[in-house]
């Protein structure tokens, strides 16, 4: 018997039509959702009843599954009476494919817990097309026979899709075969090592199937999700944005980190909906916003401008618009750090998650720090080898063979390697894990590019350290969790160098989480070094986002020549040029184009606010 949806309701913040929980750290989301699931399972187990979970795939719920596995192993949480139904599966898709959600779920959850395989249900991706409608109906029947879904986990796509309910999916839709939206396929391209390999169809639970769940948790993290989160939470219900249908559900909670919540009214412009405490950071953000809204420089903002924007209390706090304007203008000016205000003669480590993040994100300041005679180490945390195309490997192997033809390399050392690599690449399917020899060639390609990049900025090749953290060495897009060996490698470098200052990637919109995971390893290493003076930590961005002016602690101006040199350093990463394997699904531009636009855009923003005009700028946050 279907128990029906819960009637529990939650009051939302003003303008929010779905209850939304904003947390500071994405790991808090995993704990919150996993704890809710664990509580539900324990309650049902105690009552002698089974629990029915609706599960999602992809990077969004990975943290939840890892926490559930921990609870099972360390706290005795039993899944023996749990029944699961997954949201979707690509079509056609064999169960044993590296891309199948069937395989994903067993690798990332089911094989680590005590669930009965008979209780696991995943939409069929391997049935004949003539049988797909019947199979979809059976899936709906199985959910009904289980008593309906107690708790459903969702992610949200760039189009606002939940499951694979693309734009145009109706509120009454049920499990069915759907055609994937072009945006969805582009977002999935990196998982399949090319958009051309992404299936064009999928089997998905329908919107009505999802809404039948008694409780729903929808999760989003990262700046790139902030716009669609706002649309889903605050916008009108729209068939073109399936997530908006969740507004009709009586017990849905949206869990978002601070980055994904950035566009919500209560986060972006809280003074528009309620009385606020005017902290320094909020004052800066509010005045910049007002300047942007009015099109006026900060020093030209008037009493009427503040009153119309519900910011009269801010003027009252300082006594006059001029006082507010002057204070913010001076605070912004104090953020600007030219070469003379940067470190001189210090020990510095730049941690680069991939072998190009250093020049992409902080190539300008690196050049200035070189000129200031600092002792700099650039630590490349992962090999980045999966982000090298196979055709690049063929090109380098051909180079070795030609060197052997001319007698410059011993042929008996080249031929076996070349034959093995060529054979592997000929039979390789898209996304298949490379053999060790190919992985090594790809690693070496990226290492050579990295050295060339920092040499362009004036650093010696000896400044490069290649850490090759173990978590990355899966040969697949999805990585292992950060573990003690990763932290130990980072800690050893910190102890060897004893830096005064370190630079760390704070770009949390990395589509596969490598930046986030590398920062986790660094944070872990720093936490262990309690008896060592903590270095000053500067966070950079650039590959996917830039720090907004109101968040940045320091703005580093770049001249036209410095920006050109930075772009030349980026060009040295030839394997990532023209068409990078993992550009991120929400920005089609090359990395150098993003850099040029963002660095010039930051400078232009300061100009519009009425501050000094610069050619380009990099932005940093001090942790």
515 φ/ψ angles, rounded to the nearest 5 degrees: -60, -45
Catalytic-residue membership of 166? yes
d(CA 362, CA 357): 8
d(CA 203, CA 95): 13
CA distances from residue 128 to 91, 529, 540 in whole angstroms, order as listed? 10, 58, 49
User: 126 - beta bridge partners?
Assistant: none
d(CA 408, CA 401): 10
DSSP 8-state assignment for residue 530: T
d(CA 611, CA 178): 52
600 φ/ψ angles, rounded to the nearest 5 degrees: -70, -35
Confirm if 60 and 101 have CB atoms less than 8 A apart.
no
d(CA 262, CA 373): 38
**Which ranges of 295-389 would DSSP assign to H, the alpha helix?**
303-308, 312-318, 321-334, 357-371
**How would you list the strands of the sheet with 375-380, edge to edge?**
464-466, 375-380, 347-352, 501-505, 536-540, 616-622, 554-558
CA distances from residue 197 to 167, 179, 486, 502 in whole angstroms, order as listed? 22, 15, 33, 40
What spatial distance separates the first Cα and last Cα of the chain, rounded to whole Å?
Answer: 53
Q: Which of 16, 166, 449, 562 is catalytic?
A: 166
CA dihedral sign of residues 476, 480, 484, 490:
positive
Look up residue 356 and give its two tokens: 């190009």
Active site members: 166
């Amino acid at each position: 018997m279907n128990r029906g949806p819960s009637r529990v309701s939650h009051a939302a913040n003003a303008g929010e039509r779905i209850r939304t929980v904003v947390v500071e750290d994405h790991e808090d989301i995993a704990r919150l959702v996993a704890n809710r699931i664990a509580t539900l399972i324990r309650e049902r187990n105690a009552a002698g009843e089974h629990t029915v979970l609706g599960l999602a795939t992809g990077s969004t719920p990975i943290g939840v599954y890892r926490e559930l596995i921990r609870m099972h192993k360390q706290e005795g949480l039993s899944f023996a009476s749990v029944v699961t139904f997954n949201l979707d599966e690509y079509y056609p898709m064999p169960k044993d494919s590296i891309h199948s959600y069937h395989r994903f779920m067993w690798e990332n959850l089911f094989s680590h817990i005590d669930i009965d395989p008979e209780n696991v249900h995943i939409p069929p991706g391997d049935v004949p097309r003539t049988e797909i409608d019947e199979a979809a109906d059976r899936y709906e029947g199985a959910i009904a026979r289980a008593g309906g879904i107690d708790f459903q986990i969702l992610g949200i796509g760039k189009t606002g899709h939940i499951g694979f309910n693309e734009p145009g999916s109706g509120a009454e839709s049920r499990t069915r075969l759907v055609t994937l939206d072009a945006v969805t396929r582009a977002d999935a391209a990196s998982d399949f090592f090319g958009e051309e390999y992404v299936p064009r169809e999928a089997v998905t639970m329908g919107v009505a199937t999802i809404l039948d769940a008694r409780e729903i948790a929808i999760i989003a993290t990262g700046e790139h999700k902030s716009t669609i989160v706002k649309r889903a939470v605050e916008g009108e219900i729209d068939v073109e944005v399936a997530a908006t249908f969740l507004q009709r559900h009586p017990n849905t909670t949206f869990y978002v980190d601070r980055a994904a919540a950035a566009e919500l009214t209560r986060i972006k412009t809280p003074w528009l909906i309620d009385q606020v405490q005017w902290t320094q950071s909020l004052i800066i953000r509010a005045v910049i916003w007002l300047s942007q809204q009015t099109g006026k420089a900060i020093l030209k903002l008037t009493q009427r401008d503040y009153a119309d924007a519900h910011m009269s209390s801010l003027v009252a706090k300082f006594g006059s618009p001029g006082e507010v304007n002057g204070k913010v203008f001076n605070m912004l000016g104090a953020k600007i750090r030219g070469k003379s205000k940067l470190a001189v003669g210090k020990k510095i480590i730049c941690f680069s998650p991939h072998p190009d993040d250093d020049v992409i994100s902080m190539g300008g300041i690196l050049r200035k720090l070189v000129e200031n005679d600092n002792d700099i180490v650039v630590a490349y945390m992962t090999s980045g080898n999966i982000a090298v195309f196979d055709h690049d490997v063929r090109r380098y192997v051909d180079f070795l063979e030609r060197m052997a033809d001319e007698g410059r390399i011993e042929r008996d050392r080249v031929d076996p390697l070349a034959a093995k690599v060529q054979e592997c690449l000929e039979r390789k399917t898209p996304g298949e894990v490379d053999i060790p020899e190919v992985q090594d060639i790809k690693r070496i390609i990226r290492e050579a590019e990295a050295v060339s990049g920092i040499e362009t900025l004036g650093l010696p090749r000896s400044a490069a350290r290649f850490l090759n953290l173990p978590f990355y060495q899966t040969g697949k897009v999805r990585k292992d969790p950060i573990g003690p060996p990763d932290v130990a490698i980072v800690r050893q470098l910190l102890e060897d160098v004893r830096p005064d200052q370190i630079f760390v990637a704070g770009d949390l919109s990395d589509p596969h989480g490598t930046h986030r995971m590398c920062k986790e390893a660094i944070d872990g290493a720093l936490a262990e070094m309690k008896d060592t003076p903590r270095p000053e930590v500067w966070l950079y961005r650039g590959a996917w986002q830039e720090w907004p002016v109101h968040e940045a602690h320091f703005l580093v101006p770049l001249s036209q020549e410095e920006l050109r040199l930075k772009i030349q350093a980026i060009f040295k990463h030839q394997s990532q040029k023209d068409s990078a394997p993992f550009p991120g699904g929400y920005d089609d531009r090359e990395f150098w184009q993003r850099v040029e636009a963002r660095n010039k855009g930051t400078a232009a923003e300061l100009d519009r606010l009425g501050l000094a005009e610069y050619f380009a700028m990099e932005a940093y946050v001090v942790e």
